[in-house]
Structure 1
Amino acid sequence: MHYSVLLQAAPSSNGFLQIAMFGAIFVVFYFFMIRPQQKKQKDQRTFSDSLKKGDEVVTIGGMHGRIMEVDKDTVTLEVDRGMKLRFDKSAISLEFSKKKSS
């Protein structure tokens, strides 16, 4: 019965140390999770804004095609002679013509 008193943790006397640890966790979380995601979103937005007629692209679904028309939020791809499909700009994953040359 008297052993339960000995097993209790000692009270923490330094609250500043706990706050510093939470701050350090937040800083690590920011630099390894939030910041790279923001950079990735910025790069994707820049890529979507730089699409132009004639670029060969690949969609996120794997569809290959050449851009025939670019609107504000959509692009029209020619996937075969005379076959045109309209996609959202966010559905374009990469420019294939740049990938082929490198």
Structure 2
Amino acid sequence: MSIGILLPLILIVGVMFMMTRSQKTKQRQALEMRNKMEPGTGVRTIGGMYAVVKEVNDETVLLEITDGVHAHFTKSAIGTVLSEEEFNRIVHGIEPEEPAGLDGEAEDGADAVAGDAASADGVTDADKAADGDEEPISLDKSDADAEQDGSAAKDDAAKEQNGSASK
């Protein structure tokens, strides 16, 4: 056997060994991540759904998708275990607070007290914005029909004022 044939075979075996080794390392890291799940941690499934772990079993996980809505998933369906700060930032839109004094500016004590009072009673800035003058959007068909009837009546009134309506 010549070295010209032996060298490519050795290279192929070496590349295959390196690929399987990196794949095994990724599988081991994923297994460790899934084993560190505990009730109360936030997760993202491989389908992109965010939920909170309620119960961990041998092969399954009970996730709370929203208040009162629970679903069972296999552990392999968990894509990422998120830190509490990251989960709150993604799901609830709560940015992590920076420790005082990092930006070099003095904070106004009244603003800090007002922020603490708002967080203590559970009212967030998003809740305050939702309580504004905006009316919630309804997707009922009856509302859409009423809007169409109202816009048709407005069009007729406008035509009559312009004198373009036929009699």
Instruction: Give TM-score scaled by structure 1 length.
Output: 0.76
Relative to its length, the structure with more strand (as a share) is 1
- Give the ranges of 4+ consecutive aligned residues of structure 1 lying more than 2 Å apart after TM superposition: 14-17, 96-99
Aligned pairs (5 A) from 1:18-97? 18-31=5-18, 33-97=19-83
Q: RMSD across aligned C-alpha pairs, in angstroms?
A: 2.1
Greater radius of gyration (CA): 2
Q: Deviations over 1:11-33 (max 9, x none)?
A: xxx524412320122112322x2
C-alpha separation in 2, matches of 1:99 and 1:44: 21
What is the DSSP-based 3-state SS (H/G/I as helix, E as strand, rest coil) of the residue aligned with 1:72? coil
Consecutive unaligned residues of structure 1, counting only runs of 5 or more, are 1-13
- CA shift digits 1:29-72 (9 cap, x unpaired): 322x2111111111111111111111100000111110000000
Change (3 A) 1:98 1:15: farther
Distance in 2 (alpha carbons) for counterparts of 1:99 and 1:57: 12
Q: What is the aligned-residue identity percentage?
A: 31
* Separation in structure 2 between the aligned mates of residue 42 and residue 99 of structure 1, nearest angstrom: 25
**Secondary structure of 2:37 counterpart:** coil
Q: Aligned AA for 2:13?
A: F
Greater relative contact order, per chain length (Cα 8 Å cut-off, separation 6+): 1
Using the size of structure 2 for normalisation, the TM-score is 0.48
Aligned length: 88
Uncovered stretches (5+) of structure 2, i.e. residues with no partner: 88-167
- CA shift, 1:99, in A, is 7.1
Q: How far off its partner does 1:92 sit?
A: 0.3
CA contact (8 A) 2:61 2:75 kept: yes
